Structure 1
Amino acid sequence: MELIFLGTSAGVPTRTRNMTATLLNLQHPTQAGLWLFDCGEGTQHQMLSTAFNPGKLERIFISHLHGDHLFGLPGLLCSRSMSGHAHPLTIYGPRGLREFTETALRLSGSWTDYPLEIIEITAGEILDDGLRKVTAFTLEHPLECYGYRIEEHDKPGALDAKALKAAGVKPGPHFQDLKAGKSVVLEDGRQIHGADYLAAPIAGKSVAIFGDTSPCAGAYELAKGVDVMVHETTLDTSMEEKANSRGHSSTRQAALLAKEACVGRLIITHVSSRYDDKGCQRLLEECQAIFPATELAYDFAVFTV
């Protein structure tokens, strides 16, 4: 998987940072998959500067209904339709998402020429497509807000083809069944168990993508043990009280969570417009002092999971 940041600013855009939006490219070898997390104003325009087309979007996950996470959605939906893309699209988000989307389309005389499904969620598992699952966790913010944990299922280990051939199993359909862990009966009546010829499973990757939040009970479970945690750092440590009063987190709080939850890497984003490049570097350093494996997201940054 890889994360592509289309917008990394908090509240309002800056000259170098657009409103919140993050692509997750699933990079599955046999199944196309492009997911979008939040859709701030200008997201479709940001996509024009990438190799990705809105028509390839399969799912959109909205954390909450504040405009800097949502106002780009109607335009993206319409442009996707006008481009002639017929692939289905599913949108997940809190209560009110359906009313917002349908009202925006209706009042603007717009429509979609592709199947569009809007699912208003609550906390818990919201999706399992057989390859990965997505779980929503409630966060602490003035509006109903969620973070999303994406977990790939473990992959079967490599099949020991050499040992199978030595056991008299010829390459063919049986290999496919054995790779899936099934048992097969050979022509001579012997039963071969796939589990006996498979290496240990390969652990799937995991990502936690937070919406806006101040520290809360659900944050640890959302982040626990993930390979990559994407978390807002709206304000620096000296402004922590102000950040929390508005449902946001400081650098110190994001880094402490990453450390306590034993995540692999922390990517910080959703930075207040008060910080220039030098200020953003200070935010990064504050996090790294607590959790060294911290990186700063910027518009069009790409991170491999």
Structure 2
Amino acid sequence: MELIFLGTGAGRPVKERNVSAIALQISQSRNFWLFDCGEGTQHQLMRTAYKLSRLDNVFITHMHGDHTFGLPGLLSSRAFLGGEEPLQLFGPQGIREWVETALKLTATRITYDIHIQEIEEGVIFENEYYAVEAAKLNHRIESFGYRVTEKPRVGRLKAELLSAMGVVSGPMCGKLKNGEDIVLPDGRTVKAAEVTEPAVPGRVVTILGDTSPCDNALLISRDADILVHEATFNASLPEKALEYGHSTTLHAAETAQRAGAKQLILTHFSTRYSAEDLPPLVDEAKSIFPFTAAAYDMMVMPIRRTKPE
């Protein structure tokens, strides 16, 4: 499970930084998800090992162009590149009209089904392995944050202990793995809890859209393994940040600290900041939350599991 930052800038692309897009590679397959799709996102994807045909889900935080202008072209290219499996697209009100109008007016032929869901707050996606929760943030237009929660993995059976008990692999082990107690032929009861290692906790990734500080940002960031938070402006510009519905480095750090996140990744930097300006921005955030890093285009961030206690 890993994040790849395809674009880390705000407003418009610059030579060293594209606009917003983040890929999330999921554990159980070679497929990936996409969060936002600014102009040029598909070009950035060409620099990775990810294939558009393996894109499952797209989550749009809000309708501003630096988060959406790359979407019609990416959907078109997915068809050209042999994508046949259905794609799910989640986003705020207006995402359906935007996509359907763009594809219609350009006579773009899509060879796969696109399921578009205009979201409200709450759990918007769930499968066997993951759940995704959306929450409204505080921006100039409707903007969402997404919390991706990996479900816990069942602990392994204690093979040596089972062997000593005379339990061999087969249906009995299957029942124990499912949490069911079993009775052996000699009448002994084997309790699943006693022969199973602790469950492996799932990982939590929170990706916020554009926002100024708000309660919902705290809510969906609670105890996140990684919190991706915009830091459009440095600490000297709080009034400007709030005027435009954005955050400073210190706002992001305060949210991470209050939410109990394990790691903070800053992104969505104003075009006024160059690559050389990023270390001072990180230092500002670290004054409040030490576990902070700045995202840069094509940065890969592994998301490691927390070992059970």
SS, match of residue 112 in structure 1? coil
> Structure 1 vs Structure 2: percent identity of aligned residues?
45
Other-structure match for 2:130: 132
CA deviations 1:109-166 (Å, max 9, x no partner) are: 0121012111111010111112111100110011111000011111112211111122
Letter in 2 for 1:25: Q
Secondary structure of 2:237's match?
helix
Aligned length: 303
Within the candidate set 278, 281, 286, 1:280 is matched to 278
> Quick check: 1:34 aligned with 2:6?
no
Superposed structure 1 runs of 4+ greater than 2 Å apart: 182-196
Measured in 2, the distance between the counterparts of 1:14 and 1:7 equals: 10
Corresponding position of 1:249: 247
Amino acid at match of 2:286: Q
Alignment of 1:1-305 (within 5 A): 1-28=1-28, 31-187=29-185, 191-305=189-303
Q: What is the deviation of 1:38?
A: 0.3
CA distance in 2, matches of 1:38, 1:207: 15
Q: Deviations over 1:241-300 (max 9, x none)?
A: 101111100011001111111110000000001011222222111111211110110000
Unaligned runs of 5+ in 1: none
Measure the CA separation in 2 of the matches of 1:202 and 1:231: 26
What secondary structure does 1:74 align onto?
helix
Question: What SS class does the counterpart of residue 149 from structure 2 fall into?
Answer: strand
Q: What CA distance in whole angstroms lies between the structure 1 residues aligned with 2:269 and 2:158?
A: 49
- Cα displacement (A) at 1:303: 0.6
Gapped runs of 5+ residues in structure 2? Answer: 304-309
Q: Which amino acid aligns with 2:149?
A: E
CA distance in structure 2 between the aligned counterparts of 1:171 and 1:82, rounded to whole angstroms: 47
* One-letter amino acid of the counterpart of residue 87, structure 1: E
RMSD of the alignment, in Å? 1.3
- Tell me if structure 2 keeps the 8 A contact 1:165–1:171: no
> 1:214 Cα deviation (Å)?
0.5
Q: The residue matched to 1:111 in structure 2 has which SS?
A: coil
Q: Normalising to structure 2: TM-score of the pair?
A: 0.95
CA contact (8 A) 2:223 2:262 kept: yes
Deviates more, 1:187-196 or 1:154-163: 187-196
Given residue 293 of structure 2, which amino acid in structure 1 is its aligned partner? Answer: E
